[in-house]
Amino acid sequence: MLKLWGRLTSNRTQKVLWTLAEIGIDFEFILASGVMGPGGHVAKGNVPFGVVDTPEYRARNPNGRIPTLDDDGYVLWESNAICRYLVMQYAPEAMYGNDVRTFASATRWQDFENNELLPPQHELVMELVRLPVAQRNADNLATARAAFNRRLEIVEAQLSRTRYMVGERFTFGDIPIGIRAPLGAARAAAARIPEHRTLVCGTGRASGVPAVHRRSGESCRRLSGGHRWPRCAPQRTRLTPQ
C-alpha cells in the first residue's frame, strides 16, 4: 500500500491528501513532524510528532521534512512534485485531461502557490497564531498582509476570467490554490486584509481520519456564479500514529 508521512494541519501535506482523494487511491498515513504535535507548535512548548529525525526517515527524505511518499519503493518528497507524480501516474485524464499544455498551466499555479502565496501566508500564520504574543512584530504583520493581498488579487483576476484556475474544468492546479485561499482568507480577515469578491471560504476543520477525506470539502468558491471546487470521494485510509 502507498504510504504518506505528514500531518493533517500541514498545508503541504493537505495538497497531497486532496490529490490522493481526487484519484481515489488507498494509502497509509503516518503522522510525522518536527515542529507540530498533538498540542500544537513547538514554539509554544509543545512536543512534536517526531519521526522526521529518525535514520529511517532521513534515508527517505534527507531534509527531514514532510510530506514524503513511498509508492511501492519509489520514494518522493516535495509536495508539488508528489502531486505531479500522482496525477501523471494514476489519473492523467481526470486531473489534467492528459494534455501537455493543461499540465503546464496547472504546474504554473503550483509554482505560484509555493513561490508567491506561501511566503507571506507563512508570515501571517507566525504573527497571528504560532509565535507567543510577546514575540510578534506589527511591522512584519503589515508587510505580510500587503504582500498576501496582492497575490490574492492575481488569483481573483484569473477566476474572473475562467471557472477554475486552468480553464473551465477542475485540474490539479486548483488544489494548491484551494488549500491556500481558505486558510489565507481566514488569516487575512484576522489581519484586516480587505475582503475579496471572488474568494469566499469555509474553514471548519475536521479532526482525525475523516479530515483526510473531507479536506477538499472545506470550500473555496466564487461569489459570481457560485462555482465550487468539488468535494472529493473518500477512500480507505489507514492512519498510523507514531
Cell 486558510 belongs to residue: 183
Q: Which domain holds residue 111?
A: 98-221
Q: 106 and 64 in one domain?
A: no
Q: What are 4-62's pLDDT values in tens digits? A: 999 998 889 999 999 999 999 899 999 999 988 988 888 888 898 999 999 999 999 99
Residue 3: strand pairing partners:
28, 70
Task: Tell me, yes or no, whether 124 and 50 share the same domain.
Answer: no
Same domain, 107 and 66: no
Give per-residue pLDDT as tens, 140-165: 999 999 999 899 899 989 999 999 99
Total structural domains within the chain: 2
Q: Is 50 helix (H, G, I), strand (E, B) or coil?
A: strand
Torsions phi, psi for 47 (to 5 deg)? -90, 130
In this model, does residue 3 exceed pLDDT 70? yes
77 & 123 share domain: no
Residues 63 and 10 in one domain: yes
Q: Does residue 102 share a domain with residue 156?
A: yes
Residue 176 has pLDDT above 90, yes or no: yes
Same domain for 82 and 145, yes or no, is no
Q: Confidence class of residue 182 from pLDDT cuts 50, 70 and 90? A: low
Residues 12 and 87 in one domain: yes
Domain CATH code at residue 103: 1.20.1050.10
Alpha helices (runs of H) in 191-229, residue ranges in sequence order: 210-214
- Please report the pLDDT score of residue 211 as a whole number: 28
